[in-house]
Amino acid sequence: MIPPPGSPLGLRIGLLGGSFNPAHAAHREISLTALHRLKLDQVWWLVSPQNPLKSRSGMAPLDARLAEARKVAAHPRILVTDVESRLGTRYTADTLAALRRHYPQTRFVWLMGADNLAQFHRWQDWQGIARMMPIAVLDRPGFNLTGPQNPAGQWLSRYRVARHDAAALAGKAAPAFLLLKSKLNPLSATAIRLSKKTITGRRTTP
């Protein structure tokens, strides 16, 4: 559970948002890499009630996703939250703005996998997000980290921070953008859901 709004937190917090439908080991590995390389105090998983870019079809209930995320996180410095639901925000930009208001002394870093960077330009006010807090993009299988060839990656490249300066990212003024190597875990929530459907289908086929 994250501290109540207004708590005087002078901490370095990584924020990893998503549907977590379901949470899996790659989410945990990204978080552990960020804790270590960025010298963060905590990583908060922001489990979204409903991602505006994703279909409601196949979306597990929020309570079920939160419970599974807590099992997967299994780390005292990875905190699973339903803060977006509590704030009543729909878009990441609004959620992050609210968190900055509620925790003005906290130094936040937005974390995302390289697969999300590929569609970041489709997010509501993505440039506003980049101007709100530093961003760390972590390796994901099949996505190029050396020079992202998409609108958001090209725009962010002018604010790129060297990897050897990763530990200082949380203290930098935004925009600040870091590409960070991590263990390439091939797991994805989509693949897990498809696997479960296949298994279920085999069991129910005469």
Taking the complete model, does pTM exceed 0.75, yes or no? yes
- Which one of 37-46, 84-93, 136-145 scores highest in mean pLDDT? 37-46
- The residue behind tokens 């929020």 is 62
CB 50 within 8 A of CB 97: no
145-152 contacts, C-beta under 8 A, 24 or more apart: 145/114, 145/179, 145/181, 146/179, 148/114, 148/117, 148/118, 148/179, 150/117, 150/118, 150/119, 150/120, 150/121, 151/121, 152/117, 152/120, 152/121, 152/126
Q: What is the DSSP letter of 142?
A: T
Whole-angstrom Cα distance, residue 89 to residue 95?
6
- The residue behind tokens 């390289």 is 114
Whole-angstrom Cα distance, residue 143 to residue 160?
18
Task: List the strands of the sheet with 78-81, edge to edge.
Answer: 78-81, 42-47, 12-18, 107-113, 135-138, 177-180
CB 48 within 8 A of CB 84: yes
CB 45 within 8 A of CB 27: yes
pLDDT value at 120 more than 80: yes
pLDDT value at 172 more than 90: yes
Residue 196: the pLDDT is 52
Q: What is the CA radius of gyration of the chain?
A: 17
82: CB partners within 8 A, 6+ apart:
47, 49, 62, 66
* Beta-bridge partners for 79: 44
pLDDT value at 61 more than 60: yes
pLDDT value at 189 more than 60: no
Residue 184: the pLDDT is 58
Give start and end residues of each alpha helix (H) in 82-125: 83-87, 92-102, 114-117
184: CB partners within 8 A, 6+ apart:
139, 140, 141
Which region among 35-49, 103-117, 173-187 has the lowest average model confidence (pLDDT)?
A: 173-187
For residue 138, give the nearest of 178, 171, 108 by alpha carbon. 178
In CATH terms, the superfamily for domain 12-204 is: HUPs (3.40.50.620)
